[in-house]
Amino acid sequence: NAGVTQTPKFQVLKTGQSMTLQCAQDMNHEYMSWYRQDPGMGLRLIHYSVGAGITDQGEVPNGYNVSRSTTEDFPLRLLSAAPSQTSVYFCASTGANSPLHFGNGTRLTVT
Amino acid sequence: GQQLNQSPQSMFIQEGEDVSMNCTSSSIFNTWLWYKQDPGEGPVLLIALYKAGELTSNGRLTAQFGITRKDSFLNISASIPSDVGIYFCAVLRGNQFYFGTGTSLTVIP
């Protein structure tokens, strides 16, 4: 099992550019989520999904969009990148009687 | 969001020493989790606690769910170099997991 796979591992964007961070899981988990990790701030929830076709906002959703067209995939879109979105982004998933499984992160720099 | 206060923020210890860290909240939670993040990787679950007062061990790690349901602590005994990393507490409320700010652990050989 690959678990939770995130791509790309690293990305540099210019202010105003858009991009999509990819997340895929092969554990048939219904629940998927996106976090950002900043120094001294811990992990903050951006968006989450409890199943295909269902998404909801977390603590810090502004500037990010998500969709969940399949159980396996949960992409995170930045429509117009800002320097404040420089961070490490983690995707995580969980299912019944399962802990939250994290991917290895995408390190994003916005200049 | 739910504010989880983790302390200490960072620790520098000698190999072989015991480590203790804790996590407190002003709210009550029914699930407390402890995760470890190795450098360059995503967090991995260490211990899950589901009952107030519960004391659970996983090798050299021991965690307790506070009786008030507002706190939890994690102890690591006889630390080794591979214990280095960031330790996060987390709680579950509804469909959302909330994480503490983390305790960064450095083990000096």
- Contact: B95, A42; criterion CB under 8 Å: no
Query: Residue B92's CB: how many other CB atoms inside 10 A?
Result: 18
B1 has a pLDDT exceeding 70: no
User: Most B CBs within 10 Å: which of A37, A46, A100, as the mutation test of the B interface?
Assistant: A100
- Residue A92: closest CA among A9, A42, A29: A29
Over the stretch A21-69, which tens digit does the pLDDT of each residue have? Answer: 999 999 999 999 999 999 888 899 999 999 999 999 999 999 999 999 9
Of A42, A48, A102, nearest to B101 by CB-CB distance is A42
Q: If you ran DSSP here, which 8-state letter would residue B83 be given? A: G
| 8 A C-beta contact, residue A3 and residue A15 | no
**B79/chain A closest Cα distance in angstroms:** 23
Over the stretch B14-24, which tens digit does the pLDDT of each residue have? Answer: 999 999 999 99
- Residue A47: closest CA among B77, B97, B52: B97
- Label residue B95 by pLDDT band (50, 70, 90): confident
Over the stretch B50-77, which tens digit does the pLDDT of each residue have? Answer: 999 999 999 999 999 999 999 999 999 9
